[in-house]
Amino acid sequence: MSPAFLNFIEIFINGLMAGIMYSLVALGFVLIFKASGIFNFAQGVMALFAALTLVGLQTGQVPFSHLINAIFGTDIHDWGPGLPTFLAILLTMVVMIALAWVLEKFVLNHLINQEPIILFMATIGLAYFLEGFGDLMWGSDVKTLDVGLPSGGSFWWEDVTRAWAPEDADYWGMYIDKLDISATIIAVVLVTALSLFSQYTATGRALRAVADDHQAALSVGISLRKIWVIVWSIAGFVALVAGIMWGSKSGVQFSLSLIALKALPVLILGGFTSIPGAIVGGLIIGVGEKLAEAYIGPMVGGAIENWFAYVVALAFLLFRPQGLFGDRIIERI
C-alpha cells in the first residue's frame, strides 16, 4: 500500500475516533429530547461539571474552598489525599443523580406543559448557573484529569502499519492515540448497554413509552417525574463519560462545555430523536472534518476543521431537515 493511501486510512480512523467523542455528547441531547422534548442546552456544561467534580473528588479538594476562605478567612484547600478513581467516579455519579433529582423537583416539575421554548430557556439558565456553580465549588483553574486510561500513540500499531508500506517508502506508521481507542471501546459498550436496557427491561419500555406518548404513558401508570429523573440521570451519566474522555484529552476547563456546540451539527445530521442517528452523525462529522482539514484545508489556507461541520449541517438542513434517522416532521396546513 502506498504511503498516501495509508495516510488516508490514518486520517479516516482518527476521524472516526473523534466522531465517537462527538457522538457521546450528542447522545446526551438525544436521550433528553426524546423523553421530554427538551433541547438541553446545558448538556455540555453538565459534562464540564461532572469532570470538575470527578477531579475535585480525586484530588481531595474541599468544595467551595474559595467561598469558605473568603468568608471565614480560613485557608483550606484539601481535605486529604483524595479518593481512588473508582470511588470518585461512583461518587460523581451519585452527584449527577442528585442533580437530576433536584432539577426535576425545583425546575422541571414547575414547567410541565409549558412551551418548548420556555423549557429551552430554562436549560440556558441552567447552563449558566451550573457553570458558575462549578467554578464556585471547584475553582476556575485548568485541571488535568487522569483516570488511568492509557494515552499516547500506540507503538504496536505503528509497527504493524509501518510494514504495510513498501520497504523503501518514507513512512513511519500510523499514529493512533490509545486514549481514543479506549474512548471508542467505552462508547461502544455504553451505547450497547443503553440500547439493551431500553429494549429488554420494564424501565426501558417505560422510557420508550414516555418518549412516544406522554398521555398514554400516564394512563398506564408511568410516573413522568420518575422517568424524568431517570432520563436526566442517564444523561448525567453520559455527560460524565464524555467529560472523562474530553477531560483526559485536553484538560478540564471552561472550554470543555463548548463541546456541546460540536454536538449541534451531529444532531442536525442524525436527527434529534434517533440514537443511531447520533452515532452515525458523529462519525460522519468526525471523518468529514479530518478529511476536509487534510485534503481541502491546504487549498484554502487551512483551519477549516472548526467550521466545516457547521457547513455540512447547514447543507444537510436544506435537503433533509429531519436528519438521517429522525422522524419526518410534516405539519399539516
Partner 1 sequence: MNVHVHPTQEFRFMRPDDGIKKGDPLLVVDDISLSFGGVKAITDISFDILKGEIRAIIGPNGAGKTSMLNVINGFYHPQKGTITFRGQKRSRMRPHEAANHGIARTFQNIALFNGMSVLDNIMTGRITLMKRNMLWQALWRGPAETEEIENREIVERIIDFLEIEYIRKTPVGRLPYGLQKRVELGRALAAEPSLLLLDEPMAGMNLEEKEDMSRYILDVNQQFGTTIALIEHDMGVVMDLSDRVVVLDYGQKIGDGTPDAVRNNQDVIDAYLGVSHD
Cell of 18: 473523534
CB of 332 to partner 1, least distance (A): 15
Burial class (CB within 10 angstroms; exposed 0-12, middle 13-18, buried 19+) of 37: middle
Specify the stretch interacting with partner 1 by CB under 8 A; choose among 9-17, 132-140, 170-178, 199-207.
199-207
Q: Is 220 in the site for partner 1 (CB under 8 A)?
A: yes
User: Which of 62, 136, 224, 294 is the binder for partner 1 (CB under 8 A)?
Assistant: 224
Return the number of the residue (159 or 213) whose C-beta is nearest partner 1. 213
Interface residue with partner 1 among 216, 258, 261, 296 (CB under 8 A) is 216
Cell 419500555, residue located: 205
**Contacting residue, 80, 152, 166, 215, with partner 1 by CB under 8 A:** 215
Confirm or reject binding of residue 101 to partner 1 (CB under 8 A).
Answer: no
Q: How far is the CB of 218 from partner 1 (least distance, A)?
A: 4
**Shortest reach from residue 92's CB to partner 1, in Å:** 18
Q: Choose the binding region for partner 1 from 111-119, 200-208, 258-266, 282-290 (rule: CB under 8 A).
A: 200-208
> Are the CB atoms for 303 and 297 separated by under 8 Å?
yes
Choice from 17, 31, 137, 206 touching partner 1 (CB under 8 A): 206
| Residue at 73: amino acid letter | G
CB 41 within 8 A of CB 239: no
Q: Which of 156, 197, 295, 307 binds partner 1 (CB under 8 A)?
A: 197
What CA–CA distance (Å, rounded) separates 308 from 86? Answer: 38
Q: Does residue 109 belong to the site contacting partner 1 (CB under 8 A)?
A: no
Residues 200 and 198: their CA atoms lie apart, in Å, by 6
Give CA–CA dist 6/76, Å, rounded. 54
CA 266 to chain centre: 11
Choose between 104 and 289: whose C-beta lies nearer to partner 1: 104
Segment lying near partner 1 (by CB under 8 A), choices 20-28, 109-117, 218-226, 244-252:
218-226
Confirm or reject binding of residue 217 to partner 1 (CB under 8 A).
yes
Q: Interface with partner 1 includes 201 (CB under 8 A)?
A: yes
Span of 154-162, 169-177, 207-215, 316-324 interacting with partner 1 by CB under 8 A: 207-215
Pairwise CA distance, residues 197 & 262, whole Å: 27
* Contacts to partner 1 by CB under 8 A: 196-197, 200-206, 208-209, 211-213, 215-224, 230
